[in-house]
Amino acid sequence: MSLAHSRMVMMCGVFLLAALAFFAGCASQPPPPPPPAAAPPLPERPAPQRADLTFAQGIAYAVDDLFIQLQRLPAFAPRAGGAEAKRSVIVADTIIDAPTGQQTQATLLAEAFVYERTQAKFKQFDVYAATPEFLKRAEDVVTSTVTPVMNEKGLYRLNMSMTETRAGLVVAQSAARVRDDSVDVTPTPFFRESPAIAKDRVIEGQIKTAETAAAQPADAVYIERLPTSAVVNEGMAAINVGKFAEALPYYEEAAKRQDGQQLRVYNGLYMIYWNLGRSGEAEAAFGKIVALGLATNNLAVKFLFRPGSTDFWPDTKISGPYPVWLRQIAVQMKDTKSCLRIVGHTSRTGSEVNNERLSLRRADVIKARLIAESREPASRIETAGVGSRENIVGSGTD
């Protein structure tokens, strides 16, 4: 019987809050950046008529296609008199899983393949991670996503685009279809431990840009916020290896920026403060997560339950902050006069009849805790259970 996710939908102002019952459980890079993970040798570019490639072959094909398109542009063609073609600095943004907006072990491996392939095959271009230092020097940015194909186990689509940052125009786009059962979609520590799912407007723009055809405009919000995203990327890399004190300056800088009021930023601040033992600042950061989520109709908070139970997960490292989260959700709900619809979930283990009942009971637990915190009338909160029918990617089984 299984883990749960519970989702709350506001009806009086229509916002989505998920009390999700799943929980899977550095600084600047010098040029050229070390790959995030050790990557095996890449194969030669496969023939385009092959429908399903391995993960490594798919990255090789997509990278080759993208950079060959770039080489064909007049700006990068060989110069008259036999002079070498123009060299260019290009940055590659963090690759994400498109359905969730998360960084995963698979996307980290994809980044390693991208750096290795470009360094080996396209020496005309200097490709670096999208850090603030290199973004200032870059003329183009590579934006990529990995997308599981619905109802097709082990089948994925890779999308990559190249955008000229000043014009905001996509100049090349490539895609590949891969079939590989070894693809690991486990979220990285930042996303696995974030209190809220952070698929916000910037992430949506990143996904859209990766899929945009050449000669079409990239998503304007995504391109405009690249400098702040570069700061967040460096902080996220530090959190992923447990260097919270080193990550803090990046997130504090991002939060001060006009476009830094993002769920990713407040998630980072919350995790840093909590892990550094600064509980008051952690709760304040979580309050901003909830407030921003309510204001943008985009809030999803994760709670983990014991398998087959309505009790929270017993490991206090995971469930210890839950009272803080519930308190802040209740406070913000009261301040905004929000109405909530709480939807409970389970994983796929066990019979669906029992999972339906368990998911509803879990939603009722969240409702009771919120009412106890805020003294809000029960009429403003309703519950439902969907069992495992809307299972969240990455939650898995017990």
Neighbour count for residue 66 (Cβ, 10 Å)? 24
Residue 66 confidence (pLDDT) above 60? yes
Residue-wise pLDDT for 181-215, tens only, equals: 888 989 999 998 999 887 889 999 999 999 999 99
Torsion sign over Cα 254, 258, 263, 264 = negative
The two three-digit tokens of residue 362, written as one number? 């879990």
* Res 5: pLDDT: 55
Q: How far apart are CA 236 and CA 247, in angstroms?
A: 7
- Sequence-separated (6 or more) residues with CB below 8 Å from residue 277: none
Q: Which residue has the higher pLDDT, 293 or 55?
A: 55
Least confident of 6-20, 39-53, 127-141, 213-227: 6-20
Torsion sign over Cα 200, 203, 209, 212 = negative
Residue 62 confidence (pLDDT) above 60? yes
Percent of the chain with pLDDT over 70: 83
111 exposure class (CB count in 10 Å sphere: 0-12, 13-18, 19+): buried
Using CA atoms, how far residue 370 sits from 14, 286, 308, 378, in Å, is 18, 16, 22, 9
Q: How far apart are CA 283 and CA 304, in angstroms?
A: 19
Q: How far apart are CA 261 and CA 258, in angstroms?
A: 7
Q: How far apart are CA 81 and CA 143, in angstroms?
A: 34
- Mean pLDDT across the chain, nearest whole number? 84
End-to-end CA distance of the chain: 7
* Res 364: pLDDT: 96
Residue 32 confidence (pLDDT) above 50? no
Residue 79: band (very low, low, confident or very high) from pLDDT cuts 50, 70, 90? low
Contact criterion met (CB below 8 Å) for 163 and 170? yes
pTM: 0.82
Task: Give 285-301 as a DSSP string.
Answer: HHHHHHHHHHHTT---E
Neighbour count for residue 75 (Cβ, 10 Å)? 12
Residue 45 confidence (pLDDT) above 50? no
Q: How far apart are CA 143 and CA 146, in angstroms?
A: 11
Residue-wise pLDDT for 255-303, tens only, equals: 999 999 999 999 999 999 999 999 999 999 999 999 988 888 777 888 8
Residue 398 confidence (pLDDT) above 70? no
Q: Which residues pair with 126 in a beta bridge?
A: 89
Contact criterion met (CB below 8 Å) for 302 and 23? yes
Neighbour count for residue 297 (Cβ, 10 Å)? 13
Q: Highest-confidence range of 2-11, 215-224, 291-300, by mean pLDDT?
A: 215-224
Q: How far apart are CA 1 and CA 37, in angstroms?
A: 35
* Res 309: pLDDT: 93
* Res 389: pLDDT: 85
- Residue 109 DSSP symbol: H
Q: How far apart are CA 121 and CA 44, in angstroms?
A: 10
Residue 85: band (very low, low, confident or very high) from pLDDT cuts 50, 70, 90? low
Q: Which residue has the higher pLDDT, 160 or 296?
A: 160
Residue 392: band (very low, low, confident or very high) from pLDDT cuts 50, 70, 90? low
* Res 35: pLDDT: 45
* Res 195: pLDDT: 92
Q: How far apart are CA 57 and CA 50, in angstroms?
A: 10
If you search the block for the tokens 């089984």, which residue do you land on? 397
